[in-house]
Structure 1
Amino acid sequence: MTTRSKASRSAQALTATRHPLPLALFYDATTQEEEPSSYKQAAKSPHWCSAIAAEFYALLQNDTWELVTYDSFMNVVGSKWVFKIKRHPDGSIECYEAYLVMQGFTQVPGVDFIETFSPVVKSATVHTVLSLAVSCGWDIC
């Protein structure tokens, strides 16, 4: 008895795909527009300019940073724009997204920051506290 794993297969059967059409359509849909690698490239397109404006406005609304005067002893952290195209499952463009990311690798631990901590709460804890607040008639504000 010969199993499938031991059966000989031709080289063409190993390299060919069973369904080449969907792969071709996916390739065509994803190669129509590329994501820019720099701000200079993105600034030429109105789609990317509106994505940049939306991201910058969101950063200002959330009070992400505080503007201070520069002193020579300060370590200024650089930034970089990252651009991504969000797509629908069929490959069509859903939206253009721009992210302003900080280059935190230039910071020195103990000099520029003391500790890194991100508070994390389990959803069960939040659910319990909210249930307790509702049952006791506490204000949730």
Structure 2
Amino acid sequence: MVTRSKARIFKPKALCADKVEVEPCSIEEALAHPDWRLAVQVEFDALLANSTWELRSLPPGRKAIGCKWLFKIKKNPDGTISCRKVQLVAKGCSQVPGYNFKETFSPVVKPATIRAILSIVVTKGWHLRQVDVNNAFLNGDLTDDVFMQQPPSYE
């Protein structure tokens, strides 16, 4: 197998003297910056608007799954910042082997949405390479109760 490095194909390094913004490592760092604070609030508001969870006390004998915030800077081809993406994700390391352990597929886009996008693309004659969704939520049916800890800094 020939890899890019074996074929001596390397991505050129973009060197610039501009101030480089780094992604925050914690929610506290993100909340200290106004642009990141806005992105975090948009994600949190979307979770509330979609009725992602309801606040309840943890029943006896149940364990809550931890969660964490993920931060990513999306850039335009010219290097300018397109948007700041924030996601609240469950920590998957708390899965129990043997109990839904190998199930990794979860539909996050409704089939009707995909059909609508593809029909628009075909009728307009557009070229489609990628579709970016502002917020993706599980659109399958959960049959089990899942308990997650409250998001850090949002208790």
| Structure 1 position 59 matched with structure 2 position 47 | yes
Q: Structure 1's 114 and 41: CA in aligned 2 closer, same or farther, altered over 3 A?
A: closer
TM-score (structure 1 length as normaliser)? 0.58
Q: Secondary structure in 2 aligned to 1:28?
A: coil
CA deviation map 1:82-102 (0-9, x unaligned): 111111000001111111111
CA distance in 2, matches of 1:61, 1:89: 32
| Structure 1 position 77 matched with structure 2 position 65 | yes
Aligned to 1:103: 91
TM-score (structure 2 length as normaliser)? 0.53
The residue type paired with residue 79 of structure 2 is G
CA distance in 1, matches of 2:58, 2:110: 37
Aligned to 1:11: none
The answer as to whether partners of 2:95 and 2:101 remain within 8 angstroms in 1 is no
What displacement does 1:48 show? 0.5
What displacement does 1:72 show? 3.3
Q: Secondary structure in 2 aligned to 1:54?
A: helix
CA distance in 2, matches of 1:96, 1:48: 7
- RCO greater where, 1 or 2, for CA within 8 Å and sep 6 or more? 2
Identity of aligned residues (%): 42
Which structure shows the bigger proportion of residues in helix conformation? Answer: 1
Long gaps (5+) in structure 2: 1-9, 117-155
RMSD: 3.4
What displacement does 1:104 show? 2.2
The answer as to whether partners of 1:30 and 1:91 remain within 8 angstroms in 2 is no
Pairs aligned (count): 102
The residue type paired with residue 86 of structure 2 is A
CA distance in 2, matches of 1:32, 1:100: 24
CA deviation map 1:45-68 (0-9, x unaligned): 000100000001111112222332
| Structure 1 position 46 matched with structure 2 position 46 | no
The answer as to whether partners of 1:80 and 1:103 remain within 8 angstroms in 2 is yes
Q: Structure 1's 79 and 29: CA in aligned 2 closer, same or farther, altered over 3 A?
A: farther
